[in-house]
Amino acid sequence: MSTEVGDAFKAIWTTGSVNEDWAHWPDHLTEDVLYVERIFGTMHGREAVRTWITDLMAVRADVHAVLNWYVVSGDRVVLDMTNRYYHPDPAQPPIDFAGLTVLQYGGAGLFKYEEDYWDAAGARTAYETWSKAVEAWGGKGLEDGRLERLEAARKQQNHAVLNGAATSA
């Protein structure tokens, strides 16, 4: 089963966190999914998750996910990710905060349970730091193809982890 679960994870991660297609990301969840979000609360059902994630990402479109590692064990996936704001000054590193997710597979390529943990203090600090940097810089600093280059590198890093760093237990 771990290959099936791993393939389902690659599909859900690619749709949401790599391609940022939040409207279709919930299609990788069962209709009766239980979604425990430690910051935003507990949601029941795919459509509740879809409403929440599309609304959230419409206002947080400046946050991008980077997969650090994941482990598939039986019907579970545990992953470590970095949430990233691009610093407006190209000479500065990105502004990051940590996250951890646990998924439980429900069959047919769908997950029936997700639980997200975020570094809440880190998220608040990252947002405040990014907001001040954007104000000081006079914008997001993503012109002249910089956003496209940063996004290409982020997607490449995600694909590298998806295609080589997984372990099965």
Tell me the pLDDT tens digit for each residue of 60-74. Answer: 999 999 999 999 999
Tell me the domains of the chain and their CATH numbers.
Answer: 2-168 (3.10.450.50)
Identify the CA nearest to 54 among candidates 3, 16, 101: 16
The distance from CA 129 to its chain's CA centroid, rounded to whole angstroms, is 20
Q: Are the C-beta atoms of residues 137 and 122 closer than 8 Å to each other?
A: no
3-state secondary structure of 128: helix
Q: Which residue has the tokens 């509740």?
A: 48
3-state secondary structure of 131: helix
pLDDT > 90 fraction of the chain, expressed in percent and rounded: 92
Mean of all residue pLDDT scores within the chain: 94
Helices (H), 73-145: 120-137
Pairwise CA distance, residues 14 & 6, whole Å: 12
Question: What are 135-168's pLDDT values in tens digits?
Answer: 999 999 999 999 999 999 999 999 999 998 544 4
Q: Which two tokens mark 116?
A: 């997200």
Q: Please give the average pLDDT of every successive group of 10 residues along the chain, which has 169 residues.
A: 90 97 98 93 96 94 96 97 97 97 98 95 96 96 96 96 66
